[in-house]
Structure 1
Amino acid sequence: MLGVIGILLALGLLMFMAFKGYSVIFFAPVFAILAAVLSGMALMPTYTEIFLPNLANYVKVYFPFFLLGAVFGKAMEESGAAAAIAKAIVKKLGTKQAMLSVVLACAILTYGGVSLFVVAFAVYPFAANVFKEANIPKRLIPATIALGAFTFTMDALPGTPQIQNSIPMKFFNTDLYAAPVTGTLGALMIFVAGMLYLEWRRRKAQAAGEGYGIHTSQEPEIIEDSTLPNVLLSTVPLIAVLVVTLVLTKFVFVHWDISAWATQAPYKMDKAGIVGTMNNWALMIGLAVGIIIAFFINPKKMQGNVAKALNAGAIGSLLAVMNTASEVGFGNVIKSLPGFQSIAHALMSIKGGGSPLLSEAVTVNVLAGVTGSASGGMSIALDTFGKDYLAMANNIGLSPEMLHRIASMASGGMDTLPHNGAVITLLAITGLTHKQAYKDIFALTCMKIVAPLILIPLSSIFHFV
């Protein structure tokens, strides 16, 4: 009983400290050790033999995605390509479709591989400008950006190069385009429901006489920048990431048998995970090509800024990957505790017509909420139960692609609780507080939780993947 109390106490303290703005890099091991000690485990061995190895393993596998994704985002930002795309969409749709223009701008950038944080920075100035012109409450901007950047293009749409879509490849030997029908339906469901909700909130606010409001914090000044590249040229790096990854995954690596040498010394790759690893390589190469193109589309603006983009991206990626890796280390300490076994048993016992999908969706959602990280929660869930889910799927003839897509979509559900780093950053960028703007972000979170739970029975009825 004390062990379970220790787990709950550790989780509560970690969420509280993250909500207050303290670094999880420091407090994740502190509270992990607290839970371990209350469960009767040794203090230092827990840190050096459980927490640190799991942290290091996460960095080993996923650091390239954080690094290349961050550098790609900074290259798009420094070249002016991200701003050019956002500005063109907002200008084209105008104030009558202010919310839709912001959502689409975020969606295009995110689906093209630009990191969520860079998207928020790039789009916010234009969002504030068009919301002000349309007299829409500023407090709705964070939810509007979140719908475009943190939801359907992050983990639902097939092919998205965001890390939330790449993690399941390692566990299920799938690729970024896994379960295209399920992913597309889920994306449409969330996009439509989210837009209907945001428009309802806009109409309700304006009926009550509420406009943009008087704000002084983080109010951007829109400056006409003649150095921005052509908008069509600006989309080339985004398209390149998607096309290169698709070609390598579907037409090149699929015909390349590397098992003869990859499973031997000095590589000794896991034969069962070779396909997933090769698909990871495809994404790395795609992002690298996107970075190179982004550097060359606007030479005048990039002159003298290449080092800045590389350095800022590299430094930013270190913070991002260490935050998530610390949460993964914390979660793995928790899962090693005796009190977690009853929780694990309860999660695995969730049945949905003999399919592991419901258990997977709930488990990933819960752990993403606990860690405040989509990628961290999903990594822990699949590290713990991935082989079991795959075995269950094989027994009933369920495609591993469905496991991939449901896990990916579920990771973007409860991860956006108040202590989520992306939520805290988004509110800071817009100069708003949780009290002012989180309510509408939480509404989108609820939609994201429900979406995979609707798709699971639909897929079994209509037999689509």
Structure 2
Amino acid sequence: MSVVVALAALACLMVAAYRGYSVILFAPLAALGAVLLTDPAAIAPVFSGVFMEKMVGFVKLYFPVFMLGAVFGKVIELAGFSQSIVATAIRYIGSARANLVIVAVCGLLTYGGVSVFVVVFAVYPFAAELYRQGNIPKRLMPGAIALGAFSFTMDSLPGTPQIQNIIPTTFFKTTSWAAPMLGILGSLFLVVVGLFYLESRRRAAAIRGEGYGINLVNEPQRVEGSKLVSPLLAILPLIVVGVSNFWLTRLIPLWYGHAHSVSLPGLSKPIETKVPSVTAIWAVEGALVLGIVVVLVTAFGAVRRHFAEGTKAAISGALLASMNTASEYGFGGVIAALPGFLVVSDALRVVPNPLVNAAISVSTLAGITGSASGGMSIALAAMSDAFVQGVHAAQIPLEVLHRVVSMASGGMDTLPHNGAVITLLAVTGLTHRESYRDIFAITVIKTLAVFFVIGVFYTTGLV
């Protein structure tokens, strides 16, 4: 019965998210409903002592990353840099390679620190024009955007500043550059297999004589390339974010040491910080700040007109995204404390291989919650100690566990109720019925990439 209660709570949250209800509201309701069926007297203490503690702890650590990433993406958009990058990719790669162009541009933007949600808005107008010129069915476009924005640069490539690559650092004391060779090989797997699938779908549509489509919704206006800024200037902030993230990851431990203490006159006790647990977070935050400064310095005239309203919208979006994930994190903390979850955890431990165990656990919870960061947060909050013990016993580096967990979080998360999927379809004016088949195919390929990386590690020992 305890397992049924835990699964029912998870199902409630999944259905609520699928139907578009607020996760911030339904995560505590689902969690406390499970507590009610387990121990009614514990509702108030669990809400204050577990749910809110976990939720606030997540916001404390990660909200600055969400906020700075959203602001960076917004100023990139306001400056016209994202449009310039897309147009340049089209010009040099060629409109005949529409899928490659979209994947390359989405990958460049997300690896440069632009939020996956922002990338959808930035790329769509040019992707639509590219598909229209190539007479490629518009319904295939979401699959290409999903491969470029929601896969290899989100959680596979070493150093990516996306939150899915940052969360494991606080649990495993690793950096965002963990297991670089495995990350690169996993990314190559995703790109090659993903593009092969997308091209096969494009060719099949061409054989049938299917064109771009008619009576379509939310068609963008055409953008003139003559109005775009220099591509070298446009890519500069992305390079700054990537390079500064790399160096700050290495320099912060040298500046602060393993532990750092600060005493201020108004504090009753010093601020004690364990530097390894926050190095990756501080590095990403510093890199994003530098990226924002570069955009403001190089394109202040273009940004200034809409900076106030644009940053308000960006911060509102970041607050909503972080609170959604934090609510799921609090939900996971409550569920992890219930007897039913302990039964499920013990069942998952039956899988003898620690990397496969971690991959299945994280991917399953990411799929149930419809959130890569949320599912990973739930899994790590409940099982990170067991994962660490398992890889230590098997003499596997924690960097490998980091990369596997990060990639697994981006596996089955893109089920129909995933927020990024819903946003992608809404922006492109398409429906699940029209386009989800290709998004799901990318989801399957992403999941296979995790086990490909595990296989490469055991075969070659590469990290």
Q: What band does the TM-score fall into relative to the shorter chain?
A: over 0.9
Contact 2:131 2:138 in 1 (8 A): yes
Which residues in structure 2 correspond to 1:57-456 (within 5 Å)?
57-224=57-224, 226-251=226-251, 253-254=253-254, 256-259=256-259, 261=261, 265-269=269-273, 271=274, 274-352=275-353, 356-456=354-454
Shift, 1:350, TM fit:
1.2
Q: Which runs of 4+ in 1 moved over 4 A?
A: 262-265
Contact 2:121 2:427 in 1 (8 A): yes
Shift, 1:262, TM fit:
6.5
Contact 1:112 1:160 in 2 (8 A): yes
Contact 1:90 1:105 in 2 (8 A): no
Distance 1:105 1:333 in 2: 40
Shift, 1:410, TM fit:
0.4
SS in 1 for 2:159: coil
Unmatched runs of 5 consecutive residues or more in structure 2: none
Residue aligning to 2:28: 29
Distance 1:418 1:331 in 2: 21
Distance 2:194 2:321 in 1: 27
Distance 2:393 2:319 in 1: 40
What is the one-letter code of the residue matched to 2:130?
A: V
Contact 2:142 2:435 in 1 (8 A): yes
Contact 2:332 2:381 in 1 (8 A): no
Distance 1:31 1:279 in 2: 32
SS in 1 for 2:272: coil
* CA 225–457 in structure 1, closer or farther in 2 if over 3 Å, else same: closer
Distance 1:431 1:192 in 2: 28
What is the one-letter code of the residue matched to 1:22?
A: Y
Distance 1:436 1:320 in 2: 26
Distance 1:303 1:284 in 2: 22
Distance 1:211 1:298 in 2: 39
What is the one-letter code of the residue matched to 1:364?
A: V
SS in 2 for 1:261: strand
Contact 1:79 1:228 in 2 (8 A): no
Distance 2:287 2:336 in 1: 35
Distance 1:416 1:170 in 2: 24
Tell which deviates more after alignment, 25-34 or 143-152. 25-34
Distance 2:289 2:347 in 1: 42
Tell which deviates more after alignment, 453-462 or 100-109. 453-462
Deviations 1:123-161 (A, max 9, x none): 001111110111111111111100000000100011111
Residue aligning to 1:461: 459
The alignment's C-alpha RMSD in Å is: 1.8
Shift, 1:225, TM fit:
6.2
Tell which deviates more after alignment, 278-287 or 45-54. 45-54
* CA 17–298 in structure 1, closer or farther in 2 if over 3 Å, else same: same
Contact 2:116 2:150 in 1 (8 A): yes
* CA 297–260 in structure 1, closer or farther in 2 if over 3 Å, else same: closer
- Normalising by structure 1, what TM-score? 0.95
* CA 181–254 in structure 1, closer or farther in 2 if over 3 Å, else same: farther
Distance 1:387 1:5 in 2: 25
- Normalising by structure 2, what TM-score? 0.95
Contact 2:178 2:403 in 1 (8 A): yes
Contact 2:359 2:405 in 1 (8 A): yes
What is the one-letter code of the residue matched to 1:413?
A: G
Shift, 1:17, TM fit:
2.0
Shift, 1:296, TM fit:
2.2
What is the one-letter code of the residue matched to 1:73?
A: G
Count of matched residue positions in the alignment of Structure 1 and Structure 2: 458
* CA 101–381 in structure 1, closer or farther in 2 if over 3 Å, else same: same
Unmatched runs of 5 consecutive residues or more in structure 1: none
